Structure 1
Amino acid sequence: MQGKQALRNADLRDEYRSDRGDVVRAFYMPALAVARQYDRAVGYFTASSLAVLGKGMDDFIQRGGTMRIVASPYLEPDDVADIEAGYELRSVLERAAIRDLERAAESRQAAVGLGKLGRLVSEGRLDIKLAYVSSGNRVGMYHEKIGIFRDDNDLVAFKGSANETLSGMVGNFESIEVFRSWDDRDAERALRISRDFEALWQDRTNFLRVINFTEAVRVVTERYPSGLASVGDIDEIPADGAPISIPRQDVPGLLRIPENLNVRDYQKTAVRNWLSEKGRGIFRMATGTGKTLTALTAAAQLAKAMQKTNQSLLTVVIVPYQHLVDQWSKDISWFGVAPIRAYESTAAWYRHASNLLDTLMLGSASCGVIVTTNKTFGETHFQNILDRYSGQLLVIADEVHNLGAKHLRTKLPLRANYRLGLSATPERWFDDMGSAALTEYFGNMVFEMGIGDAIKAGALCRYTYTPVLVELDIEETELYADVTEKIAKILASQQFTEDVDDDSPLGALLRKRSNILGHARAKLPALRSQIEKRQDSWYQLLYCAEGRHPLAYEEGAREEDTQLDQVMNLLGNELRMPAARYIAETKRAERQEVLRRFGAGDDLQILASMRCLDEGVDVPAARTAYLLASSSNPRQFIQRRGRVLRKAAGKSMADIVDFIVMPPEGSGIVHYETERRMVARELTRVTEFAHLAENEAETLDILRPLRIRYGLLDT
């Protein structure tokens, strides 16, 4: 055991104390990760401690590690009376120790530990002895607390206040001192502790006696599973067309598939694929195809497997926005678990999350779910919660592409055995490093369902597509050319690292160029013409560009309302249509009321939004979408299309109106190749939308003159 897999490379300190960190994660688990033998002599030992050590103990067992344990059973008054009455001491001590084990098995955490004990015993890799004080006529308890980890060359000895119990490891305030055989300052004491354990094991310690207990343990532990859960323990997902089974017994606190949920065949396929990859992977599923319910079905199957092996499961769901926390929480409650919503004030959720961890670690709960926002997930308080937990962990990331950002991807918990990413567009735009980091963490794409497949499957409705051509004015064209030139210089320089965050110079320029197209002034008259054609229709969504026109920030620029303000004036004052804003600044309760009124179909005719309707908002009633602004980032326009394609009662068709920006013909301001690239970027979206539209041929005819003008017939 040379190199990295050695105790001397485990970075073990000389002292650990509860007020300075998690003793289990900081000491026990790193030592177990490289040790081949673990010896422990303690006053009290319970099997729950092995479950607390979680994956560290699982890895130790899988590597063929061996253990020797010396402990002292708890003697009740009846035990003492039997000893005084002359009953055989050995039988009384064994009876007391077995009673401790069987009582502990009522706890989920201890039952898992008993399973692990049983595997070690059955494979001949664990011996247990009972120790007691024997001096004259006195029989007393053995209370020493020492331990030794060994690899092929070195040993680490420790002693301190902690018993090998659940409370000793995660509940009490404890401290231990550590002595390393390769450190000249520690070597003598480390070897002395090792010799003391050997003397105890060989029953050569004055005033102490030890008796074998391994066979008695075997009788108890044979009744418990091995404790090493795997995705292979999960029930087979039924074939397409067959219902997913629902547990007959309603286990309190266990995620379970609702009886009235119709799990579609493609969702079953997604879950099967994820399970076959041992609970890791990414679902690329079009907006409206039920990513949330598919993910919760997978989580329910995993929770059932954990329950079979008496292990608890913590599921952490990470979403971009607060309204998605609420939406996920509603669905999770339908699956039988009341989730903790972690966002806004830390005081509102931290204590509840902390209590949940305690109940999971103590075996009082079999399942727990925390739903949080990207922002809260990345903050210190939430990271501390994750650091404390050592049990089975499932991470579900909704709109997973967001977690590829540099400030978030480093926060993802590496110790999560199970990981699931969800998105219609998992790849990060202009960020290959972020995309690669997501694949490395969550795994490969294990299921894909695009909008075309979803329409064929009946999961989304059919649609018509109307592209509307508008031109930039002279000022907008000049600014577009200037920004494009700056982007080209960065891409050609060493400053470009293929890792583009929004606040980077390249990210800011890309956003500015997109905003020029989004705010094109010619869009408002064109929008009026399109809305007038549908003035009697309800359930209409309108996506505006964010902020103000980029020219508003140029020196000497004229005052100009935001595009959203101009749209609301057009709808309410000029066309007299009932409309409402749906923006991030609106309080969450007010936004929910706006959605309710919109869905009623007799109060609000149009919702005008910026980014708020991009990810996750459920507005299935929407029939028409005006894409007044869509960036060239595929994620945004795919999300916006998906919003209006959701199925709803009485809805068989959707209508998408898309405003396509092009440079003014013959202006001479922009170089021809720059013009051509601008149009090509816009046509990428148009081609994607037109391909699946009911009126594809008509759409292509509208755009044919533009394609000919710029030599883009193949685009």
Structure 2
Amino acid sequence: MNSPSVVLRRSDLLGDYRSDRCDIVRDFYAPALAAATAYDRAVGYFSASVLAVLGLGIGEFAARGGTMRVVASPQLSQEDVEQIKAGYALRIVLEQAALRDLELAVQDPRAAHGLGQLAALIADGRLDIKLAYVEVQGRVGIYHEKIGIFRDGRDLVAFKGSANETMPGLVGNFESIEVFRTWEPGDGPRAVRIGKDFEDLWHDRTPLLRVIDFTDAARDIIEAYAKRTAQQREPALPPMDGAPLPLPLPNTAGRLTIPAELTVREYQKQAIRQWSAHGCRGILRMATGTGKTLSALSAAARLAQALHKSGEPLLTLVIVPYQHLVDQWSKDIAWFGMQPVRAYESTASWYAQASSLLDSLSLRCAQGGVIVTTNVTFAGKPMQGILDRYEGRLLVIADECHNLGARHLREKLPDSAQYRLGLSATPERWFDDRGTDALTEYFGEIVYEMGIGDAIKAGALCQYTYTPVLIELDEEETELYAEVTSQIARIIASQGFSEDADRDSPLGKLLRKRSNILGHARAKLPALRQEITKRRNDWYQLLYCAEGRHPLLYEYGDAEEATQLQQALVMVGQDLRMPAAPYTAETRRDERQKVLRRFAQGQDLQVLLSMKCLDEGVDVPAARTAYLLASSSNPRQFIQRRGRVLRKSPGKKRADIVDFIVVPPTGTGALAHATERNMVARELTRVTEFARLADNETETLDILRPLRQRYGLFDT
């Protein structure tokens, strides 16, 4: 072997490297690392996956007793920034952010080779990691410089340029670096200066920058994952046919695997088989609470295992409506053996991870990967760009897929997805046949259905009682309802319904206004007091309120009156002294989780009040009573709300639904008979659906019989 004092000189290193002219990893990093005895690197972002790219270079480097020093800047999420503003200890927040990045990095399958070397270097005291950040007048910023130095005991090679120490930075992006070698005329002073810059940085002597130790914090994660990687075993592969779902070994193969402790229900197996039989395309129409998420992940796991037979990796893209559902899905995905990329909030918080994952799949270094994103992030240019450049096997799973029928979302769905799975209790879009058709055209037909009635019979949901409470509009509300209904009739007569009727069209606005009149009917709060007083000692109660404010407040310019939710919160929490809390869009995400935990414990939070935030995907299985102060005529909303309270939970035998039904006032001519009849018919649509499966169906029908007789609605 050549003397270390001359190895760098003999590595044929050039003065610059650019992606269009060479392979930066192969032509520069690998030979330089193979020749050096010391490597210093300062970057804006560091990923352990780079060790896999460097390949044999890192092995030779470690065998020679090489030492490494790395300075990086943690990627701060919006939540991290908020914690810093709130006064959390800066060092703790930075370490948490860096550990989060490192946990994702070491799980990258491409890091398998390098992790053992990385752990060995740390154990031998030959690798140190520090975190750098900008601190100016109390404001924290990201250190984004990119410099590196290779040494061999005599010579020094310094470089600077655009590439980060990440897989996409070295492989997936277009990068360039400038290289300065001490043995080349003119290069020496710049190489030495860059080396001194690093030394000043390492010893925290650089103005505006602060540097803190990170090696000890990173040690446990790196060593644990290195050990786990060394013990990998390949699990058995199940057939993709009608055979029973397997109970596989713990996942160490880098793809989704059904957990051994998961009991897949027979109806879920049937749903998966039906989807597979239709070419792994279709929609599962399954009632809220029947386990759509676990069914979908089990289907994805079977598909991934089948593709593995032919050596093809699978990227799974999960699209959900809201951020809290990203977190909820991610927990289940982790149970299936993979840490997904959570793509929401700022692009900087997820883009590098997603890009690195795609590179890994394209290079066949990983067997699978999962990205979970919100509808908004999915439709944005960064995510669309990620999907456009991916050419491998792609499975799209859409939770609450009816949302993707909207024009601005359906046009973004990737045509390159060979496999597609839609999930919804109500896939049809309200007053939007075109959007509904677009969903079935993309995902396929409904391949499996399980309604609430079937779910109750199967024991997946609990039984329930249903209590309709009849409420009359007052005189002002009746007049406004008649006026709005007349305006709606004129638009429909001239234009008909449009696919945007439920959005911001003139018709859509009027429909929402009329719905709000019913939802905010003033007689509801006194009726609520009577009903909730009957259950004053019961826990686990949900209260759904109307959105916004009473339409009459806007008519008369008095928008200062408290909202229905605020009034209900005062009534329940102060007047009746029942512990209560709101769960709304204004509730911070971390506070929402605390509220749900308190509610589930059943010790200090008796009533949870919401408007729409509990409609889609939020798990509150402990809920036993639901008061529906407001519910739109859209079947999706009231079906979801019913399903929310029917979820099974320990000690829960049945649920109780109290529904406030608005009817025309007696003894007034403000409404024409046809308008009165239509109002009642719209309300009875929900009542009939709820009563049909309730344990007290006969009692409920008796309550409504006089109303049906009055308006001749026995067929509704």
**What is the rounded CA distance, in whole Å, between the counterparts of 1:349 and 1:470 in structure 2?**
49
**What is the rounded CA distance, in whole Å, between the counterparts of 2:390 and 2:504 in structure 1?**
33
**What is the rounded CA distance, in whole Å, between the counterparts of 1:249 and 1:671 in structure 2?**
67
Alignment of structure 1 residues 442-453 onto 2, 5 Å = 442-453=443-454
**What is the rounded CA distance, in whole Å, between the counterparts of 1:344 and 1:500 in structure 2?**
30
> Are 2:205 and 1:235 aligned?
no
SS in 2 for 1:493: helix
- The equivalent of 1:298 in structure 2 is 299
Superposed CA deviations along residues 374-420 of structure 1, whole A, max 9, x for unmatched, are 11111111111111111100000000000001110100001100000
Whichever residue aligns with residue 526 of structure 1, its letter is A
**What is the rounded CA distance, in whole Å, between the counterparts of 2:359 and 2:264 in structure 1?**
33
SS in 1 for 2:386: helix
Deviation (angstroms), 1:492: 2.0
Alignment of structure 1 residues 187-226 onto 2, 5 Å = none
SS in 1 for 2:683: helix
SS in 2 for 1:310: coil
**What is the rounded CA distance, in whole Å, between the counterparts of 2:522 and 2:311 in structure 1?**
63
Superposed CA deviations along residues 477-500 of structure 1, whole A, max 9, x for unmatched, are 111112212222222223743343
**What is the rounded CA distance, in whole Å, between the counterparts of 1:247 and 1:661 in structure 2?**
53
1:237·1:271 contact (CA, 8 Å) conserved in 2? no
- The equivalent of 1:280 in structure 2 is 281
Superposed CA deviations along residues 187-217 of structure 1, whole A, max 9, x for unmatched, are xxxxxxxxxxxxxxxxxxxxxxxxxxxxxxx
Cα 1:485–1:255 change in 2 (3 A) is: same
**What is the rounded CA distance, in whole Å, between the counterparts of 2:342 and 2:520 in structure 1?**
37
Whichever residue aligns with residue 263 of structure 1, its letter is V
**What is the rounded CA distance, in whole Å, between the counterparts of 1:234 and 1:390 in structure 2?**
26
1:434·1:499 contact (CA, 8 Å) conserved in 2? no
Whichever residue aligns with residue 606 of structure 1, its letter is V
Superposed CA deviations along residues 98-130 of structure 1, whole A, max 9, x for unmatched, are xxxxxxxxx99xxxxxxxxxxxxxxxxxxxxxx
1:465·1:658 contact (CA, 8 Å) conserved in 2? yes
Whichever residue aligns with residue 512 of structure 1, its letter is K
**What is the rounded CA distance, in whole Å, between the counterparts of 2:250 and 2:616 in structure 1?**
36
**What is the rounded CA distance, in whole Å, between the counterparts of 2:173 and 2:557 in structure 1?**
67
Alignment of structure 1 residues 278-677 onto 2, 5 Å = 278-494=279-495, 496-557=497-558, 559-677=560-678
Whichever residue aligns with residue 544 of structure 1, its letter is C
**What is the rounded CA distance, in whole Å, between the counterparts of 2:506 and 2:457 in structure 1?**
42
**What is the rounded CA distance, in whole Å, between the counterparts of 1:499 and 1:606 in structure 2?**
36
**What is the rounded CA distance, in whole Å, between the counterparts of 1:575 and 1:605 in structure 2?**
11
SS in 1 for 2:495: coil
- The equivalent of 1:703 in structure 2 is 704
- The equivalent of 1:683 in structure 2 is 684
- The equivalent of 2:101 in structure 1 is none
Cα 1:234–1:492 change in 2 (3 A) is: farther
**What is the rounded CA distance, in whole Å, between the counterparts of 1:250 and 1:657 in structure 2?**
45
Deviation (angstroms), 1:316: 0.5
Give the TM-score normalised by the residue count of structure 1: 0.67
2:344·2:373 contact (CA, 8 Å) conserved in 1? yes
SS in 1 for 2:426: coil
Whichever residue aligns with residue 393 of structure 1, its letter is L
RMSD of Structure 2 on Structure 1 (CA): 2.2
> Are 2:258 and 1:257 aligned?
yes
Deviation (angstroms), 1:559: 4.2
1:579·1:605 contact (CA, 8 Å) conserved in 2? yes
Whichever residue aligns with residue 513 of structure 1, its letter is R
Deviation (angstroms), 1:649: 0.3
**What is the rounded CA distance, in whole Å, between the counterparts of 1:670 and 1:313 in structure 2?**
60
2:401·2:427 contact (CA, 8 Å) conserved in 1? yes
**What is the rounded CA distance, in whole Å, between the counterparts of 1:695 and 1:251 in structure 2?**
51
Deviation (angstroms), 1:172: 7.6
**What is the rounded CA distance, in whole Å, between the counterparts of 2:381 and 2:253 in structure 1?**
31
1:432·1:499 contact (CA, 8 Å) conserved in 2? no
Runs of 4+ more than 6 Å apart: none
Cα 1:510–1:18 change in 2 (3 A) is: farther
Whichever residue aligns with residue 586 of structure 1, its letter is T
1:234·1:302 contact (CA, 8 Å) conserved in 2? no
Rg larger in 1 or in 2? 1
Deviation (angstroms), 1:260: 0.5
Unaligned segments of structure 2, at least 5 residues = 1-17, 21-108, 111-167, 176-236
**What is the rounded CA distance, in whole Å, between the counterparts of 2:701 and 2:572 in structure 1?**
30
Whichever residue aligns with residue 338 of structure 1, its letter is Q
Answer with 513-522 or 497-506: which moved more.
Answer: 497-506
1:466·1:657 contact (CA, 8 Å) conserved in 2? yes
**What is the rounded CA distance, in whole Å, between the counterparts of 1:283 and 1:637 in structure 2?**
19
2:240·2:303 contact (CA, 8 Å) conserved in 1? no
Superposed CA deviations along residues 153-196 of structure 1, whole A, max 9, x for unmatched, are xxxxxxxxxxxxxx9xx85869xxxxxxxxxxxxxxxxxxxxxx
**What is the rounded CA distance, in whole Å, between the counterparts of 1:611 and 1:709 in structure 2?**
33
2:519·2:629 contact (CA, 8 Å) conserved in 1? yes
Give the TM-score normalised by the residue count of structure 2: 0.67
Cα 1:450–1:275 change in 2 (3 A) is: same
**What is the rounded CA distance, in whole Å, between the counterparts of 2:578 and 2:616 in structure 1?**
26
1:253·1:367 contact (CA, 8 Å) conserved in 2? yes
